[in-house]
Structure 1
């Protein structure tokens, strides 16, 4: 199943099984059976259908949504090796820590809100009839050190644009990780038919604005006094890149 494909179901039971897994990120098979009103035979039949259709995947008795959106790519700079790959549920704690590391050093309100959303929903990847959210992560020695996030609206009239955020831990900056993450998200959006990605940054975040401008993003609009930061009203710069 692709991230641009809106989920549709052949039965109410299929929908309920998928939605429970989607809301929870990952679910043990035996726990899923406990929360649905189905016989073991019916459960097995509906689960097999969802897996055959690509809606769910099962690994070692653990179920997750079958959203596929990219390969694992290794990079080797002069003094650092890192990997960029699709995010998964097991990255949850590392993502939260990385986002908080970035937002503690610079004002990035949208990223802060994403961290809160992750904590509230307890799921890295979301894909339902209303919203789709995905991450690519950068890892060093298996630890998450950066992310790029794409928020993909499922409303038909908004499906051409995607919100993208990106961030890298201070300790590993200067190795091109942020540029690779940003480009990975852009390439995925372009390959899947999106015409524009956008990002909103407080005007006081000079580093982020310089980074995005350097990578070909343009200022679409400025919302005056959109944030209140340290007791002062701060403008929001709405950046975008046409694909």
Structure 2
């Protein structure tokens, strides 16, 4: 299933199975059988339908979303082989730790809120009729060192505009990882029909504004005194990239 495709269901049982997996990131077959309002035979039929439609995938009795968000890429850097790939539920803790590492160094309010949302929902990917989000991560020796995130609204009037965040752990700055992650997110957005991607950051985050500006982003708007940081009012800079 594509991340821009709104899921539809042929039965209440299919809807309930999918929604449980979507909310929890992964789910065991026996748990899904308990929550589905059907017999075991009917459950198998509904599960097979969801898998054949590309909504869910199964590995050893564990179900997760089967979103198609791109392939695994690798490139050589002076800090080792960097792997950039779609995030999985197994990356949850590493992803949260990386976002917190970045937001401890720089004020990045949107990223902070995403970390809190991840912890509250306890799932990496969301894809339902209301909202959708995808993450790509950068990993070195299986350690998550950076991320880019796309928040994808399902409301038709804003469905061609996505919000992107990106960050790399402090010790891995200067090796091109952030640029690779940023471009991976932009390439995905363009390939999936988005016309604009935006990022909102505090005016005090000079590094982020310089980074985005160097990659072709432009300041679209400024919201005065939008944040309160260390007891001071700080403007929000809304930067955008148009395709």
Provide the secondary structure at the position in 2 that maps to 1:117.
Answer: helix
Q: Within 2, Cα distance between the matches of 1:73 and 1:94?
A: 19
CA drift at 1:13: 1.1
- Number of the residue aligned with 1:171: 171
Instruction: Verify the 8 A CA contact 2:153 2:162 in the aligned structure 1.
Output: yes
CA RMSD, 1 decimal: 0.7
Contact 2:2 2:68 in 1 (8 A): yes
Q: Is the 8 A contact 2:75 2:81 kept in 1?
A: yes
SS in 2 for 1:50: helix
Q: Which residue of 1 aligns with 2:200?
A: 200
How do residues 182-193 of structure 1 correspond to structure 2 at under 5 angstroms? 182-193=182-193
Match for residue 12 of structure 2? 12
1:222-233 paired onto structure 2 within 5 Å: 222-233=222-233
Separation in structure 1 between the aligned mates of residue 96 and residue 2 of structure 2, nearest angstrom = 25
Preserved contact between residue 196 and residue 241 of structure 1 (Cα < 8 Å): yes
C-alpha displacement at 1:173, in angstroms?
A: 1.1
Q: How many residue pairs align between the two structures?
A: 243
Cα distance, 1:16 vs structure 2: 0.7
Q: In the aligned structure 1, how far is the partner of 2:127 from the partner of 2:77?
A: 34
The DSSP-based 3-state class of the residue aligned with 1:37 is: coil
Between 34-43 and 21-30, report the one with greater CA deviation.
34-43
1:37 to partner: Cα distance: 2.3
1:25 is aligned to 25
Residue 125 of structure 2 corresponds to residue 140 of structure 1: no
Find the counterpart in structure 2 of residue 235 from structure 1.
235
After TM superposition, the structure 1 stretch with the greater mean CA deviation from structure 2, 35-44 or 52-61, is 35-44
1:209 match: 209
Distance 1:121 1:113 in 2: 12
Would you say the 8 A contact 2:16–2:35 is kept in 1?
no
Question: How does the TM-score come out when normalised to structure 1?
Answer: 0.99
Structure 2 length-normalised TM: 0.99
Q: Give 3-state SS (helix, strand or coil) of 1:70's partner.
A: coil
User: 1:80–1:175: 8 Å Cα contact kept in structure 2?
Assistant: no
1:82-121 CA distances to partner (integer Å, 9 max, x unpaired)? 1000011000000100000000001000000000010111
Where 1:114 maps in the other structure, the secondary structure is: helix
Where do 4+ consecutive residues of structure 1 move more than 2 Å? none
Take 1:200 and 1:25, find their aligned partners in 2: how far apart are those partners?
Answer: 27
Aligned pairs (5 A) from 1:65-214:
65-214=65-214
Structure 1's unaligned 5+ residue stretches are none
Structure-2 separation of matches of 1:198 and 1:80: 31
Other-structure match for 1:61 = 61
